[in-house]
Structure 1
Amino acid sequence: MRDILVTAIVFGVLPFIFKRPWIGILLWCWLGYMNPHRQAWGFAYDMPFAFMTAVVTIVAFAFSKEKKEMVWTRETILLLLFIGWMLITTFFAFYSELAWAQWSKVWRIQLMVFLTLMIIKERKHLHWMIWVIALSLGYYGVKGGIFTILHGGQFRVQGPTGTFFAGNNEMALVLAMLVPLIRYLHLQATQQWVRWGLASAMVLSGIAAIGSQSRGGLLAMAAMGLFLWFKSRHKFVMTIYMVIAVAIMASVMPQEWYDRMNTIKSYEEDSSALGRINAWHTAFNVAKDQVTGGGFEMFRAPTFRQYAPEPFRVHDVHSIYFEVMGEHGFIGFGMFILLAVFAWLRANQVIRECKHDPGRKWASDLAAMIQVSLVGYGVGGVFLGLAYFDLTYHLMIILVMVAKFSGVLDKIAPAMNPVKNSMPPHPSSRFEHEGAGRRIGR
């Protein structure tokens, strides 16, 4: 039944993409983040729904009458360079076949990220995309939170098999990135029942992250929660939600969970932690020896034999930073870090320009919440490996779209095109965005 339902939804929506390519982006987000076919057990489980959606979206956009233009900013240019560098490192990868298989996944993700920027041309479509992402990942947050409460935290919350966040560690990091997006929707909602639903989803997603029993996830949630409170407009309300989540967690989590979390203090005695540290040394040594790093999927036994301080302690790297460093060298690592810096600065720019303008308050809220997501990703990523996860790059591109739709990018345009931008703005442009804001309940 689930197979039929998912297939019917996908094939039912595909024809509409030819007229409105932005629907293809929303469908792809649903398939990419929720992975509904992985909730089935029959023919739909391995169906390439996301690939089919991507092909239809590309064809529809190519033949549409919409203007094809890319928003070139420091973020998009650097991301394109980073993708190109990853292609170069793949040519020199230690394990060519494995590396090309991973590259096939990565470049497709990045293609859809760039297409998102080209196809989503209205603020309301961006708002709907955030709803799709939040609901898709929120499904696992709500489900995992309820599961944790009902079973007293005895079992780990994990993601769907065959996805980027199948493991409990990755699931925790994804949920830490999700909560701020739900908070953004909560701030924009005007209907009380929607606000209560989103508030419940935030609390349950936080509980699910703790229920993953991931020590890195706990650190990610703590950092995200602290920054979320700092960035919140209504700190008292946010405090209540956090207290509820902590109280529920304290009442249901077993002693085994506390014992596991306490091992953070004594990592020298934990074989898993020592294995990660050994993998980090391996990544650094590879980057020091190879300009292009070891390429995708380099953390294999032969690599450890040659580069690790403890050659026979083979362990997954479990760190976005050392994952990129080892696989793409110091050049790739520098690009990865600089992307985060550029995204942070863009968010600061949007917040600074829009926070005192009621008509653009939504942009300030979204930029602030994306910063909170990136804090969770950055802290949790020290101990968790999700360097190529779609959502990270989507958030960076969303920041560019927020700057575009809020008019922030217009202020830097004169330096790029002084003739065009010396003209007065079209009188309908501001009211178009404001009208869209009223329609979606800003």
Structure 2
Amino acid sequence: MRDLLIVGIVLAALPFALRHTWMAVMLWTWISVMNPHRLAYGFAATAPIAAVAAGAALLSLVITRDKLRMAWSPPVVALLLFMLWVCLTTLFAVNLDGSSSRLNDVLKIQLMTFVALMALHERKHIEVFVWVIMLSVGYYAFKGGFFTIMTGGAHRVWGPPGGFFEDNNAFAVAVIMVIPLMNYLRLVASSQWLRRGLVVLMLLAAAAALGTQSRGGLVAISAMAMVFWYRSDRKFAAAVVIMIVAVALISFMPGSWEARMSTMQNYEQDASASQRLEAWRTAINIANSRVTGLGFSMYDWATAAIYAPPEVSKIRAAHSIFFAVLGEHGYIGLFLFVLIWWLTFRVAAQTRKQAANRPEAAWVHTLAGMCQVSLVGYLVGGAFLSLSYFDVPYNIMVILVVSQRWLNEHPAQETPAGFSSVQPSQATLPANTTQQVLT
């Protein structure tokens, strides 16, 4: 039944995807991030559904009558340079076959990133894109949070099989990244019931993140909470709300969770932390020896024998978005990777500044701020796990770039004489949200 439902949804969406590229982007994003076909047990589980969605998106570029224009923003240029460098480093990879296969997967994701940059122009496009991303991860966050509550946090929460965030640590970061998107949708929602439902979903997502028992996830959600507090206009009230939620969730977790989190204070004695440090030292040794790094598929005994510390026999993963890129693509690759996110943060800051005194652009101001919070969760949490090519952070970059383009394509209108200026938070957001602490 699941197989028929998933295939039926895809087939029903294809005509619209072929006609409108932005709809094809939504279909691809849903399949790529959520992997709904992996929830089936029959023919749909192995069907090339993602390839069908990607093919529809590329074909729609030719036949659509919608406006298509690339947003050549600085982070987009940096992303293009990074991908060109990655293609070059793959030519010099120690495992050419394995690296080429991995490169193929990464290029598919980034190709669709560029298609999204071309296709998303209107507010409707952007907000539907936010909904698709949020629900694709939020579905698992809801299940994980409910499971954590029902079991008292006694069992570790894992992500869906077959996707980027199957691992518990990756799942924690993915969930943490969509919490700010949930908050944005809550702030702009006109329905009181929808706002309440999103609050519940945010709490369940936080519970799911803690239920993964990921120490990196705890660091990421702590950093994100600090940014939430910093962005609040009512810092005392925000601090009280954050502390109440944190205490309630943490007190609910079992002693095994507290014991695992406490190992961060004694990382030298923890095997997992030691393996991370060994992998990071190996990545540095590789980058010092090879300008192009070793390529994607470098995690084996041969790499450890040459570049790892003497006591290490095998490197399984870099356990860091930064050290993964460093070992795979060298210092140039790491520089371009960091440049992407630095420029993305800069776009977010510029967008917030541009929209600050424009009532009709209050939604952009709020969205850009929440995207910054989301990226903080990714960069802090990602420092401890390998999610360098995960779709969602690049999707957030797309949101910021096309939102800034929307501002540029819709210049501010002068306030008519005799009318007073309205603050952004009061213009397009629900009336009661101006009193919220997380605006």
- Deviations along 1:151-176, whole A, 9 cap, x unmatched? 11111111111111000000011111
Q: Equivalences for 1:23-422 in 2 at 5 Å?
A: 23-232=23-232, 242-243=242-243, 245-309=245-309, 310-312=311-313, 314-407=315-408
Shift of 1:250: 2.8
Provide the C-alpha distance between the structure 1 equivalents of 2:385 and 2:24, rounded to a whole number of angstroms: 31
Q: Is the 8 A contact 2:20 2:66 kept in 1?
A: no
Give the total of aligned pairs: 420
Q: 1:334 corresponds to which letter in structure 2?
A: F
Provide the C-alpha distance between the structure 2 equivalents of 1:143 and 1:243, rounded to a whole number of angstroms: 24
Q: Is the 8 A contact 1:403 1:409 kept in 2?
A: no
- Deviations along 1:70-96, whole A, 9 cap, x unmatched? 121211111111111111111111111
Query: Which moves more between the two structures, 237-246 or 98-107?
Result: 237-246
Q: 1:99 corresponds to which letter in structure 2?
A: S
- Deviations along 1:385-424, whole A, 9 cap, x unmatched? 100001111111211101011228979xxxxxxxxxxxx9
Query: Which moves more between the two structures, 311-320 or 378-387?
Result: 311-320
- Deviations along 1:280-330, whole A, 9 cap, x unmatched? 000011011111001112122210110011332534211000000000100
Shift of 1:351: 1.1
Provide the C-alpha distance between the structure 2 equivalents of 1:121 and 1:250, rounded to a whole number of angstroms: 41
Three-state SS of the structure 2 residue aligned to 1:328 is: helix
Provide the C-alpha distance between the structure 2 equivalents of 1:438 and 1:228, rounded to a whole number of angstroms: 21
Change in CA separation of 1:166 and 1:280 when aligned onto 2, cut-off 3 Å: same
Q: 2:341 corresponds to which letter in structure 1?
A: A
Provide the C-alpha distance between the structure 2 equivalents of 1:241 and 1:166, rounded to a whole number of angstroms: 31
Provide the C-alpha distance between the structure 1 equivalents of 2:224 and 2:97, rounded to a whole number of angstroms: 37
Change in CA separation of 1:237 and 1:58 when aligned onto 2, cut-off 3 Å: farther
Provide the C-alpha distance between the structure 1 equivalents of 2:138 and 2:52, rounded to a whole number of angstroms: 24
Change in CA separation of 1:356 and 1:126 when aligned onto 2, cut-off 3 Å: same
Q: 2:278 corresponds to which letter in structure 1?
A: N
Shift of 1:379: 0.9
Provide the C-alpha distance between the structure 2 equivalents of 1:236 and 1:200, rounded to a whole number of angstroms: 22
Q: Is the 8 A contact 1:282 1:308 kept in 2?
A: yes
Q: Is the 8 A contact 1:263 1:270 kept in 2?
A: yes
Change in CA separation of 1:235 and 1:37 when aligned onto 2, cut-off 3 Å: farther
Q: Is the 8 A contact 2:93 2:99 kept in 1?
A: yes
Residue identity over aligned pairs, in percent, reads 42
Three-state SS of the structure 2 residue aligned to 1:55 is: helix
Shift of 1:356: 2.6
Change in CA separation of 1:35 and 1:440 when aligned onto 2, cut-off 3 Å: farther
Q: Is the 8 A contact 1:350 1:408 kept in 2?
A: no
Shift of 1:252: 2.7
- Deviations along 1:362-402, whole A, 9 cap, x unmatched? 11111111111111111111111100001111111211101
Q: 1:323 corresponds to which letter in structure 2?
A: A
Provide the C-alpha distance between the structure 1 equivalents of 2:192 and 2:368, rounded to a whole number of angstroms: 24
Change in CA separation of 1:395 and 1:74 when aligned onto 2, cut-off 3 Å: same
Q: Is the 8 A contact 1:145 1:208 kept in 2?
A: yes
Provide the C-alpha distance between the structure 2 equivalents of 1:440 and 1:117, rounded to a whole number of angstroms: 29
Corresponding residue of 2:436: none
Provide the C-alpha distance between the structure 2 equivalents of 1:220 and 1:330, rounded to a whole number of angstroms: 25
Q: Is the 8 A contact 2:351 2:368 kept in 1?
A: yes
Q: Is the 8 A contact 2:14 2:56 kept in 1?
A: yes
Q: Is the 8 A contact 2:169 2:217 kept in 1?
A: yes
Provide the C-alpha distance between the structure 1 equivalents of 2:189 and 2:233, rounded to a whole number of angstroms: 14
Change in CA separation of 1:287 and 1:410 when aligned onto 2, cut-off 3 Å: farther
Change in CA separation of 1:100 and 1:349 when aligned onto 2, cut-off 3 Å: same
Provide the C-alpha distance between the structure 2 equivalents of 1:306 and 1:439, rounded to a whole number of angstroms: 58
Provide the C-alpha distance between the structure 2 equivalents of 1:32 and 1:238, rounded to a whole number of angstroms: 35
With the length of structure 1 as denominator, give the TM-score of the two structures.
Answer: 0.90
- Deviations along 1:239-298, whole A, 9 cap, x unmatched? 566345424423431111100100001011011111110000000110111110011121
Change in CA separation of 1:91 and 1:84 when aligned onto 2, cut-off 3 Å: same
Shift of 1:106: 0.3
Q: Is the 8 A contact 1:360 1:406 kept in 2?
A: yes
Provide the C-alpha distance between the structure 1 equivalents of 2:133 and 2:87, rounded to a whole number of angstroms: 28
Change in CA separation of 1:4 and 1:235 when aligned onto 2, cut-off 3 Å: farther
Q: Is the 8 A contact 2:17 2:27 kept in 1?
A: no
Which consecutive aligned stretches of 4+ in structure 1 deviate over 3 angstroms post-superposition? 232-245, 408-411, 437-442
Shift of 1:229: 2.3
Provide the C-alpha distance between the structure 2 equivalents of 1:357 and 1:90, rounded to a whole number of angstroms: 46
Q: 1:403 corresponds to which letter in structure 2?
A: Q
Q: Is the 8 A contact 2:326 2:333 kept in 1?
A: yes
Shift of 1:29: 1.3
Shift of 1:347: 0.7
Three-state SS of the structure 1 residue aligned to 2:408 is: coil
Change in CA separation of 1:68 and 1:354 when aligned onto 2, cut-off 3 Å: closer
Three-state SS of the structure 1 residue aligned to 2:44 is: coil
Q: Is the 8 A contact 1:404 1:410 kept in 2?
A: no
Query: Which moves more between the two structures, 102-111 or 235-244?
Result: 235-244
Provide the C-alpha distance between the structure 2 equivalents of 1:200 and 1:240, rounded to a whole number of angstroms: 18
